């Protein structure tokens, strides 16, 4: 996550379109199928890992909300790495979710890159070593289920909570291609967008600029949205280096490398003076600790460049405006103390 002011996203037409492999196996006639009873509830974690995505998933697990489904999209690294990194994180945190490949490029095809903000591999240079350590093969990554498969899981679940901490491309595609999916989604928790900051039309927050058309699809779907814009993450998701220095990383030494990569980039780009900024943690913390947040309801429109505007013509969105200030640090400390 970062501000696109510092890393201009270049519009490059991409001819690369990877088509999902279709299943060719014979299936029984539809009327002979036994209808699977609907699952009552499921949690989806949709990410583009990413140093702050890594902390978000760590906190989901440590607060007792390990996701049922995880999906990675383009964003904080190349899609090759974000997919692999999702497998890494599931192994590293012992999360037994079903893993899905998300959408690989935005609707308008522009190239999304944040360079080496999170390390070129998204995980502070640790991805290849962790991929090897956990025995993750390219074949495993290539054969992961698609976002269409995730859509089918959503359709067979009564109430889905969906946490999105990357571009909204995958959720946008699911809602557009499977419109009934929206009625199975109980609530979407989104890190993205800016209200007062990083919200100039054409130069908006990274996740929302990542796929503005997908943003408009999610907006129009009517799903209930709680939004954690960059205004509140700059205010509440800073983890000072002095605090990082005080932590015992115990069985998670990689988490120290990862948070230091994040702070290094935020400091180098002038986004913080001496802190990491773990933007993606906020929707995860809200999922567990609603009473620690101050939320306000706004009517907001979003356009195809991810620009948000308060307007009577907009839709109602619950917007986080503040959080108990030590919550993130306390929860990181607690998560690391688990032996």
Q: Which residues of the chain form contacts with Ca ion (CB under 5 A)?
A: 48, 50, 53, 165-166, 280
Whole-number minimum distance, CB 183 to Ca ion, in Å? Answer: 27
Contact 18, 144 (CB under 8 A): no
Q: How many residues does the chain have?
A: 339
Whole-number minimum distance, CB 192 to Ca ion, in Å? Answer: 9
Radius of gyration over alpha carbons of the chain, in Å?
19
Whole-number minimum distance, CB 84 to Ca ion, in Å? Answer: 15
Beta strands in 48-184 (DSSP E): 69-72, 98-101, 157-164
Whole-number minimum distance, CB 313 to Ca ion, in Å? Answer: 29
The nearer residue to Ca ion, 281 or 317, going by C-beta atoms, is 281
The nearer residue to Ca ion, 47 or 184, going by C-beta atoms, is 47
Whole-number minimum distance, CB 57 to Ca ion, in Å? Answer: 10
Pairing of strands 293-302, 308-310: antiparallel
DSSP character at residue 226: E
The nearer residue to Ca ion, 53 or 254, going by C-beta atoms, is 53
Sign of CA dihedral 227, 48, 66, 70: positive
25 Cβ contact list (under 8 Å, min separation 6): none
Q: For residue 2, which of 217, 241, 261 has the smallest C-alpha distance?
A: 261
The nearer residue to Ca ion, 54 or 157, going by C-beta atoms, is 54
Q: Greatest CA separation found in the chain?
A: 63
The nearer residue to Ca ion, 118 or 184, going by C-beta atoms, is 118
The nearer residue to Ca ion, 87 or 184, going by C-beta atoms, is 87
Whole-number minimum distance, CB 53 to Ca ion, in Å? Answer: 4
The nearer residue to Ca ion, 185 or 278, going by C-beta atoms, is 278
Whole-number minimum distance, CB 165 to Ca ion, in Å? Answer: 4
Whole-number minimum distance, CB 335 to Ca ion, in Å? Answer: 18
Q: Which two tokens stand for residue 103?
A: 């959408």
Whole-number minimum distance, CB 111 to Ca ion, in Å? Answer: 17
Q: Residue 41 and residue 191: Cα distance in Å, rounded?
A: 22
DSSP H or E segment with residue 45: strand 39-47
Cα 198 to Cα 104, 153, 238: the distances in Å are: 25, 35, 17
The nearer residue to Ca ion, 184 or 331, going by C-beta atoms, is 331
166 Cβ contact list (under 8 Å, min separation 6): 46, 47, 48, 50, 53, 72, 73, 74, 75, 76, 82, 102, 207, 210
The nearer residue to Ca ion, 161 or 280, going by C-beta atoms, is 280
Q: Which two tokens stand for residue 29?
A: 């006639």
């Amino acid at each position: 996550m970062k501000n696109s002011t510092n890393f201009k996203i270049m519009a490059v037409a991409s001819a690369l379109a990877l088509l999902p492999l279709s299943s060719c196996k014979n299936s029984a006639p539809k009327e002979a199928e036994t209808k699977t009873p609907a699952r009552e509830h499921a949690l989806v974690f949709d990410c583009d890992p990413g140093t702050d995505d890594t902390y978000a998933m760590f906190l989901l697990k440590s607060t007792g909300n390990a996701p049922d489904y995880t999906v990675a999209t383009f964003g904080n690294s190349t899609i090759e790495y974000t997919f692999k990194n999702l497998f890494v994180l599931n192994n590293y945190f012992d999360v037994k979710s079903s893993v899905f490949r998300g959408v690989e490029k935005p609707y308008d095809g522009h190239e999304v890159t944040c360079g080496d903000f999170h390390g070129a591999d998204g995980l502070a240079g640790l991805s290849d070593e962790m991929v090897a350590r956990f025995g993750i093969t390219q074949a495993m990554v290539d054969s992961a289920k698609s976002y269409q498969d995730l859509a089918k899981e959503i359709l067979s679940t009564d109430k889905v909570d969906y946490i999105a901490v990357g571009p909204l491309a995958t959720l946008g595609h699911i809602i557009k291609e499977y419109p009934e999916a929206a009625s199975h989604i109980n609530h979407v928790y989104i890190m993205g967008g800016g209200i007062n900051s990083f919200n100039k039309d054409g130069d908006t927050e990274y996740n929302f600029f990542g796929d503005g058309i997908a943003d408009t699809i999610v907006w129009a779907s009517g799903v209930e949205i709680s939004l954690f814009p960059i205004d509140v993450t700059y205010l509440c998701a800073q983890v000072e280096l002095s605090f990082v220095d005080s932590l015992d990383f115990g069985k998670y030494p990689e988490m120290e490398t990862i948070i230091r990569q994040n702070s290094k980039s935020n400091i180098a780009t002038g986004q913080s003076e001496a802190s990491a900024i773990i933007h993606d943690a906020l929707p995860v913390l809200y999922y567990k600790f609603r009473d620690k947040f101050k939320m306000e309801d706004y009517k907001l429109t979003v356009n195809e460049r991810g620009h948000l505007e308060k307007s009577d013509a907009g839709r109602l969105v619950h917007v986080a405006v503040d959080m108990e200030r030590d919550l993130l640090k306390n929860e990181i400390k607690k998560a690391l103390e688990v032996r």
